[in-house]
Amino acid sequence: MTAQSSFMILSSVKDTKIEELTTLLSSMNSTIPAHADPKNDLLPFGRFPRLHFARFVIIEAHTADEIEAFGIAARPWQPTLAFFGEIDGDIDSFFTELEDLASVGLRKIFALCEKFPKEEENLQQWLKKNNTKSNANYVNWIGRTVKHIHEDDALHQSLAAYLREHKDDIDKNNTLALRQKLLSHVEMEKYAGRLTLTAEEKTPLKWKMFNFIHMIGVPLVLVLLSPLFLIMAPFFFIRLRMLERSDPELFIRPEHSYLEKLTIQEDWSVSNQYNVFGDIKPGVFRLLTLKFILFLVDYFSRHVYKRGFLARIKTIHFARWVLLDDNKRAFFASNYDGSHESYMDDFINKVGWGLNLIFSHAVPYPKTSWLIKQGAYREQQFKYTQRLHQLPTEVWYKAYPDLTNTDLARNSRIRKGVEIRQSSVDEIREWLHLI
């Protein structure tokens, strides 16, 4: 298995250069706003076979004043270009590929930023040096590579086309014979070079070991620390309730013109992108709580929610949480299936408690109580707040535009059925239903 990794390159942008930068970035797009042309000259995303998603966002703090409600002066923020994405395998070799295939383009883009690779500097080294780690990452299915996604999809398409072509001369109820026909079809297609089903790569030993130690080690340390947590708990909750009662509440409806900047990029196909950025509420208490929760989110994503679902949410492909500006601000980005409204409804109804745990430490999240209640369940206020803090994307790339997580999971199951033959008629029928 090859696990995915993520990268994020950040560099602040001079105010005077922002316009030039947005124009340059938009030249990478197809006719659809913010949707990358996979073959564009600056960064031909389509030529990177390990790349799942990638995005350019200019992080601007247009809501920075909100923190003044806490009696704190707004911190200055220099607009910052964020280039980030998710790939299969290790980051270093991906940076080398970037250097090989997109050196000119990337240098051109970052030349408009304050931090940029000097001419004599090695781009790969520069990217490595400026790579910002997330505080938490979520991956829908750890180890599902772009290569397999494409192979599985081709397999599915080929089987579906076969059924379509032979729809009048197959006996639909003779499942055994039908499966045999389909399997021979796959063999023929493989032989003719039209289908490839590469075996899964070996999991690197180093990754396996580290993952194992992490899986065992974290709970172990937490158990050891538990007496301490127990002693702290009453103080924690007293402080929490005090803050939850006293935190100022803002109910700001986003301007229509702002919403338009966001919706114009959305719902062109089955998936969408999402960025949200804002201040963390003041004080050590909020910061430490948030950091601890993100630590747990990362742990659970890596070891528990690694096969298709994050609690009841199955629509997220990738997500990341990153603390920025000396831990004063937080950035969240995701790639999800469905429309924005259904994403938010799914969130509120299915995992509102989880949203509250994480996002209630940000300004001006709707009031929570006991960390998980209220908050997102204040539907309208929550929806306004997240839209207000959402940032438009400049360029977005998805390697498999028409496929949702459910499609990907289904295609993997179809492939499994080709490789491991089912024994019972019921299983065969279930497999046939997938096609």
Partner 1 sequence: MNNENTFKFDDLQALLRFSHGRLTDTCFLLLHVADVRKAKKWLDTAPISNATESDSLPDRALQIAFTVEGLRVMCVAESVIDGFSDEFIMGMSGEESRSRRLGDIGMNAPEKWDWGGESKKIPHLMLMYYAKENAVKDFRTSIETEDFVKAFHVIHELPTLHIGEIEPFGFKDGISQPVIDWECRQSTNAHEREGYSNLVAVGEVVLGYPNEYGLYTARPLIDEREDSVAACLPHAEDKTGLKDLGRNGSYLVVRQLGQDVPGFWQFLYKMSASNFDKCELLAASMVGRRRDGKPLVLKSVAAIPGISTQNCDNHFTYDFDTEGYQCPIGAHVRRANPRTGDLPPRVTGIINRVMKKLGFDQKQEEDLVASTRFHRILRRGRSYGPKLAPAEAIKADAEVAERGLQFMCLSANILRQFEFVQSAWSMSSKFSGLQNESDPLLGNREVLMNGERTDQFNRPSAKGVTEKIYNLPKFVTVKGGAYFFMPGLSAVKYIASLPIKEDT
Residues near partner 1 (CB under 8 A):
32, 35, 163-164, 167, 170, 172-175, 178, 253, 256, 259-260, 263-264, 266-270, 305, 308-314, 337-339, 341-342, 345-346, 349-350, 377-380, 401-402, 404, 406-407, 409-410, 413, 429, 432-433, 435
Nearer to partner 1, 79 or 338 (CB): 338
Nearer to partner 1, 330 or 388 (CB): 388
Which neighbouring-strand residues pair with 130? none
Taking the C-alpha atoms of residue 219 and residue 112, their distance in angstroms, rounded to an integer, is: 45
Nearer to partner 1, 152 or 266 (CB): 266
Sequence-distant (≥ 6) Cβ neighbours of residue 415 within 8 angstroms: 148, 151, 152, 155, 197
CB of 11 to partner 1, least distance (A): 30
CB of 128 to partner 1, least distance (A): 33
Burial of 295 (0-12, 13-18, 19+ CB in 10 A): middle
CB of 104 to partner 1, least distance (A): 28
Nearer to partner 1, 38 or 105 (CB): 38
Taking the C-alpha atoms of residue 22 and residue 212, their distance in angstroms, rounded to an integer, is: 43
Q: How many CB atoms lie within 10 A of CB 225?
A: 11
Nearer to partner 1, 90 or 407 (CB): 407
Nearer to partner 1, 25 or 159 (CB): 159
| Main-chain phi, psi angles of 364, to 5 degrees | -110, 65
Taking the C-alpha atoms of residue 14 and residue 414, their distance in angstroms, rounded to an integer, is: 50
What does DSSP assign to residue 57?
Answer: E
Nearer to partner 1, 32 or 242 (CB): 32
Nearer to partner 1, 128 or 413 (CB): 413
Which region holds residue 45: left if phi is over 0, alpha if psi is between -120 and 50, else beta?
A: alpha
CA distance to 51, 55, 117, per residue, from 98 (Å) = 11, 14, 13
CB of 212 to partner 1, least distance (A): 22
CB 24 within 8 A of CB 42: yes
CB of 406 to partner 1, least distance (A): 4
CB of 380 to partner 1, least distance (A): 5
Nearer to partner 1, 244 or 345 (CB): 345
Residue in 245, 249, 229, 227 with CA at minimum distance from that of residue 370: 245
Which region holds residue 335: left if phi is over 0, alpha if psi is between -120 and 50, else beta?
A: beta
CB of 313 to partner 1, least distance (A): 7
Q: DSSP E strands: which ranges in 148-293?
A: 271-279
Taking the C-alpha atoms of residue 91 and residue 72, their distance in angstroms, rounded to an integer, is: 39
- DSSP assignments along 283-303, one per residue: SHHHHHHHHHHHHHHHHHHHH
CB of 410 to partner 1, least distance (A): 7
CB of 314 to partner 1, least distance (A): 6
